[in-house]
Amino acid sequence: MNKITLKYEIDLDFLLIAITCPLKDYRLCYYINKYTGLNLEKTDDHETWMSNSASLFFTKYSHINDNTGTEFYLIGNKGIESGYLLPELRGSDYFLIIKEFIDDEDLRNLHKSLNHIPDVVVATEIDPEKLKSKENLVF
């Protein structure tokens, strides 16, 4: 009998910024909105499945820029009940995912604004291709 192997490639066409910050998600959202001009709002939690078929839920906020179509998502790294979205980045508390087009100058300004938030320890760009659990970021 012939064997068919199915290969798939995960679409990682987005920018990922890891944020280390002791604030609760809603407080961080408030400051991001205040310092960056975004309008992040709470949406349904991000659900991911682990290898043992258990679902984990992570808080998620989103904003879509009507003019450019750029999508912004803030997702917590620590699960609502337990677990991590990206276990290899346990030191990061949140991830800002930017989908669609954002120009380099806007990205620099966003990055600078995030780092000016008083309680943000660090906000740094991460290459999603290098992550082991990158499939957890797909939604």
Please report, for the chain, the start and end positions of each structural domain, with discontinuous segments joined by +: 14-137
60-64 and 55-58: which strand pairing? unpaired
pLDDT(59) > 80: yes
Section 68-82 average pLDDT: 89
CA pair distance 7, 22, nearest whole angstrom: 40
How sure is the predictor about 78, in pLDDT bands with cuts at 50, 70 and 90?
very high
Average pLDDT value for the chain: 87
> Is the predicted pLDDT of residue 50 greater than 70, yes or no?
no
pLDDT of residue 137: 81
Could you tell me where the beta strands, DSSP code E, fall in 21-130? 41-42, 46-49, 55-58, 60-64, 71-76, 94-99, 122-126
Residue 94 confidence (pLDDT) above 90: yes
Across the range 131-136, mean pLDDT stands at 83
Residue 18 in this model has a pLDDT that exceeds 90: yes
Running DSSP on this structure, what letter comes out for residue 76? Answer: E
Q: What is the mean pLDDT of residues 32-56?
A: 85
**CA separation for the pair 132, 113 (Å, rounded):** 29
Whether the predicted pLDDT of 12 surpasses 60: yes
Q: Which of 130, 134, 124 is nearest to 18 (CA)?
A: 124
Res. 135 pLDDT band, cuts 50 70 90: confident
Question: DSSP state, 46?
Answer: E
Asked whether 110 and 117 are in contact (CB, 8 A), the reply is no
Mean pLDDT of 81-100: 90
14-137 under CATH 3.30.310, yes or no = yes
Instruction: Kindly report the pTM of this predicted structure.
Output: 0.86
Q: Residue 114's pLDDT is what?
A: 93
Inter-axis angle of helices 25-36 and 104-116, to 10 degrees?
A: 130
